[in-house]
Structure formats: C-alpha cells, structure tokens
Amino acid sequence: MQTKNPAEPTQSISRPLWRQPALWILAATITISGAIIFISPALMATPSQQTITPEIQGFKPLAPEPAQIRTSMRILDQLNYNHYQELAVDDQLSSTIFDHYFDLLDISKSYLISSDIQEFNKFRYQLDDALKNGNLFPSFAIFNRYQQRTIERLQYVLKLITKEMDQWQFNQNESLETDRKKAQWAKNIDELNQLWKKRIKAAELNLILANKTPKEAKQILLKRYQAKLHRSLQINSEDVFQAYMNAVTQTYDPHTQYLSPSNSENFNINMSLSLEGIGAVLQTEDEYTKIVSLVPAGPAEKSGLLHPADRIVGVSKGNGKEMVDVIGWRIDEVVELIRGAKGSVVRLEIIPSTAENTQETKIVSITRDTVKLEEQAAQKKIIPITQNGKILKIGVISLPTFYIDYKAMHDEDPNYRSSTRDVARLLQVLKKENVDGLVLDLRDNGGGYLQEANHLVGLFIKTGPTVQIRDDHGQVELLADTDPNIAYTGPMVVLVNRLSASASEIFAGAIQDYKRGLIIGSQTFGKGTVQALRDLDRGQLKITESKFYRISGDSNQHLGIIPDITLPSIYDKDQIGESALDNALPWDRIQPVKYALFNNNKPNTNLLIAQHNQRVAHDPDFEYLLSYLALSKENAQKTKLSLNQKQRIEERQQNEAKLLALENSRRTALNLPLLKHLKAESDPDSESLTLSVPPSSKEKDKDTLLDETAHIVADMTLMMKNTHSEIPATIRSK
C-alpha cells in the first residue's frame, strides 16, 4: 500500500507506475553535504508574534522550526541545481506557488473566503524572496488562517447536525454543485454556511438512500465530523511544512515531492515490499481517498473488485468489525487502517468510479497478501481465430510489469527470473506450438526496470538503439540492444492502455519506431521522466532529473504512445494519465538517432482498420462496451446533485434500467438468458453487473479487447503471408 506520489528509480525505471502517479526509481540515494546556515532572528518570528490570525476556541497558531528553515533552503538548492527543468525563482514562480498552495489546501473552495485571499494576496510575489531567505512565515500564516477556517467550519457543521438535521425534508427542488474546482471563493461566511448546509443535506440523503435511517445517518455524520475536527486539532508544524514544500516542488513537476521523515520511512518500507496490504495506490481528492492504480498480481487486482478512480469512503479491519467512515481522513491514516497482516481481511466501502452519484456505494472484502514475483511473471495462452475459413493460432503473452530478481542474479543463480528471460522462454513454447502471430499484452503495465525494457526490445530486433535518456544538463545517454539474435520474427502487436506507462512506453515506442509490429489499444499514460531520491537533513526529496526519448527523437512525456489502431479505453484520460496532472512537463523532441527498420513488409494499416471496423460493428460484446463507456462518460459529466429524494430515486432507477437494457441487448445477440433486474453487488452469489468495469470487457473467460486484438493479428498474418522478411533494410534517421 503506497501513499500519494511515492518515488522512482534513476537509471532503471523501477517499480511500475502503480506507485502513483510516477514510477519508482531504484536509484542510489545521493547525500547532500552539510552546511552552516545563519538564521536571522526576524525570520524566526512565529506567526503568533506576527499574527494576522485571530484566536478561536481550540486553535493554536503553528510556527516553523529551525530545522525546517534549513531544510527548505536545501530543497530550493536541489531544485535549482538538479531538477530537469530550469525555473527562475522569481515573481512568476512565486505567483504559481501561491495559487498551487491554495489549491492544495482548499481546492473545492469550501473553507476560505474571498477576503482571506485578498488579505494574503500581498504574499503573491514575495514567496520567491522568502524561499531564498529561508522565511517560512508567509506559508505558515496562510496555513494558520486555513486551519482557523477549517475549525470554524467543522464546529458549524456539528452544530448544524445537532440542532437542524432532524427537521430537514428532502422534497424541495434543491441541488448541490459537486465540482467546485472552478467555483469562486465565497463572498462571506453566510455564503459558506449555505454551501455547507447543502453539503450536509446531500451527505444525509446519500446515507438514507444507502438504507440508513435518519437517526443512523445523523450518528454517522456526527462521528465523521467530530473525528475530522479532532484530526484538524492535531495538525502539527511538520504537516504544514510538508504541505508547503510540496506546493513548491510540484510547481516544477507533479513527481517532484518532499517526503517528511515519517513519510520517508514509509516510502523506504514500501520500497522493500516488507508490508502486507491490498496492492493499491491511493491519493487524496477533495475529502475522498481515491484509488489511482492497482499493483499487478496484487490482492486488489486479482479480486477484480477495485478499479482506478474508485473512492474509498469506509474501512473495516475484517468481517463483523465496524465500518470506519474515512471521508475527510488524511491519506496516511487511511493507508495505516488498510494495512494489516498477511491473510487477514479488510472490508472497504467504495463509490465506484462510474457511479452516477455518491450514494451508489458497495462493500468489498479483500484478503491482504504480499505480491510474489511469480505472480507478476509473464504468462502465455493461445487464442484460436477462425478467419476466411482457416483456423489461426494467435499467441498471447501478458506482462504485468518489467521485473528482475536482482538478488538471484547477483548470487549467480543460473535460473534467476526476469521479464526478458521469461518472455523468451514463452516465445520458444509458442513457436513449438506453431502460433501464427503474437500479442504482447502490456495493458495496466506501469513500468519496471529500464534494463528489462531495453533487453525485451532486443528479443524482437537484431541490434540497435532502444531509448535515449537526457539529463538536466542536456547530456544524452543511449541504451541499445547489442545481441543480434531474434527470439521471434513473426507478425506481432503490442496491446496497451492508459495505464501502460514508462518502461511499457519505452518498449512500445521502440517497436513502433522500428516498424517491428503494430501498437493497438488506447493512448498510454505519458510518463517520460525519471526521478531520484536525495537525502536531506530531515526527510528526502524525490526529484525529477532526467527524461526519456524515443529513438525517433520524440518524447514519451505527456503525450504517451499513440496506437496505430485505436480501441476503446475503459479509463478516462481526463482523470488518469500524465496529462491529467498539474504542471506535468511538456512533450518535446530531441535529435533522432540512426536505426535500421525491421522491414518485415509492414501491413496495410488502413485495410486492417477497415476490417476491424466492419467486424466490431456486428460484435455484441464490442457494441455493449462502447455503449457502456458512453453511459459512464455521461454520468461522469453530471455535477449537479439533486437534494430531492424522489428525484434521486428516479435517477438511480433510470440508470439501472439503462444498464440492464445494455446487458440484455448483449445477451439477446448472444442467445443468453435475460436478466430481470440488476442484483445486489454485495451478494457474492449473484450474477451482478459491476459499475466500474463492463462485465463483457474483462470477464473471467472473456476479454473483448484482447479477442479483437487477436482478430487483428490474424488479419495481419493473412495479409503478410509469404511476404515476411526479417532482414533489416534502410538506415533511417528521422
């Protein structure tokens, strides 16, 4: 279980992108030498001494500690000298940090009011000078005001629940705007009160629609906001410092992050994989804990019950234990609650990613476990395809991550495991079984070791460069395959999706540039940067120091890999991917390098697309998938939440009717028995429809996208029959 934005390796792309939202890089940690810093007494003045924050009950202004001042200056030095992107620490950067800090604290504009922003606007162009001088007062002054407003708000909410909730009716024509990222700051406290009254009414109605009585709903909300108030009063100076430092670092790029001493310790534990969990990467979004990605072969992924963009609203340590409401909790607290011993059960209450509104929750049970290397290893199967009266055998190799057992390799174990070795072995087996074509399935593969991506490309080409790595000084390192042996020369495609990242993108980009095979699927993640860990006096800094480029000179960053043939994506690229992250480094190009095209008589892509379109136009599973994704997108665009109980029930019934109609249309076409209604998802024995991933897109024995990819490979095979050549042709420098 990882917290938001864990780190990444340097010369290897280490651990897959499931470490949100970047890959982990297992680079050697560089220690920063010590230095003596003179601290002016004026800079040591506390916010209470320079206070612009009035006193309220239970609120104690926080002040920076001397060690934090020293650490802030070390972080700024690292950003200036080692970050890939050179940014001038000037008024423009100061303004960006200012806005990002307020977004980090109150992105939904639910606590601060416009007069607060106006008051602190005097700092907008002063943060650059303050950082250079080690002056943390502006950041603490802003946080203290935010903390004051938060406590005021929570005290108001508790009073509202206690004194007014019993009189509320849900028969008015009221609604709540749930997307407040573009909202204006409230003009005054009264306007905030109106917002929060609607918000609490919506929370109560959600609970009532989830079969809670009004009395139960009241107790749940009282407990939720009492706990949130208690946690707010426990905020300490290190919490403030970490928040501000990440507002600073993430103006450079979203993967550069300050890890406090406690988070640094958690990070190192996670890197060693010594803790058991469910295998999911989490981040905070508004008051919710959102699932970013799943660890390949981890408990959550194997269960099929959790998916990226699901939101966790409750956690229970096991069967029969009380469900703890975690809305509004800190990410580290949620992680700690989900962690547990191997073999134990954790129950999660989640809002599925495609739920029409927040009352559509379900409870799932996951058994905690460690992720074993063999479970992440490459696997193969054969899909028989009948095409033009012929049966073709299409081999499929699924690779969930780019892995290597370094310990066994260093111990000179001749049978050590790695992704390249395992894929090579499986290719030999598939060739003996006389497959006609190959699919290398890299869907959900978030990356892994860079050397493995390089070696895997080498299984499919003679020799040549595979990737360019440009550092912060503009120096370019070229990795290449030097082994002339080719493990497989037949027709092949690489299947990717939005969660294919980093090492996967390096491999897919090289295959595409060499014209060795086609890339099929959806636009990939776009993670083309490399991070290193650097020790600080307190904690660590994960900093972006390099960038990946294809041999064609194109960056993988931001844009990712664009497939030759596009298939529907079950992931919303506006929510998931590098382009969905603030301040992501841009796409760009550098000089290409010379490389020899594979020249295996590239198939006519336009003809393949035409054949694909003709086939899926009459495929019930494919039609269902497209309709389901369109309905999910329609639901995701709804940001007005009705506070009318009758209307909400009608909306839910209409949504369920649409889903039922879609499924029964598919069943009719496939001559399957029809469903009379959608059965409860909490019933493990029911034939239920998941609201997160279409049932027909990835059922236990059915994978619509993979099956269609196999058909495309069959088309390729017939098209290229008797014309295949494995001899490289012209030298190209694009």
* Active site members: 502, 513, 527
Q: Using CB atoms within 10 A of its CB, is residue 576 exposed (0-12), middle (13-18) or buried (19+)?
A: buried
Between strands 492-496 and 30-31, the pairing is unpaired
For residue 408, give the 3-state DSSP assignment: helix
Query: What is the token pair recorded at 182?
Result: 């573009």
Residue 392 near residue 436 (C-beta atoms within 8 A)? yes
Query: What is the token pair recorded at 713?
Result: 């490979």
Query: What is the token pair recorded at 512?
Result: 């595409």
Residue 369 near residue 353 (C-beta atoms within 8 A)? no
Tallying the residues shown for the chain, one arrives at 734
Query: What is the token pair recorded at 23?
Result: 């890959």
Query: What is the token pair recorded at 166?
Result: 């019993």
Between strands 529-535 and 30-31, the pairing is parallel
For residue 729, give the 3-state DSSP assignment: coil
Exposure class string for 299-324: b at 16+ Cβ within 10 A, else e: bbbbeebbbbbbbbbbbbbeeeeeeb
- Cβ contacts of residue 49 below 8 Å, gap of 6+? none
Q: Could you tell me where the DSSP H helices lie in 574-703?
A: 605-616, 620-636, 645-669
Residue 382 near residue 430 (C-beta atoms within 8 A)? yes
Distance CA 642, CA 656 (A): 17
First to last CA, the chain: 43
Side-chain-facing half-sphere of 626: CA atoms under 13 Å: 10
Distance CA 501, CA 528 (A): 8
The CA-atom distances, in angstroms, between 124 and each of 2, 102, 348 are: 33, 11, 41
CA 479 to chain centre: 28
- C-beta atoms surrounding 202 within 10 Å: 22
Residues 450, 452, 453, 455, CA torsion sign:
positive
Q: Which of 489, 467, 488, 487 is nearest to 478 (CA)?
A: 467
- C-beta atoms surrounding 647 within 10 Å: 15
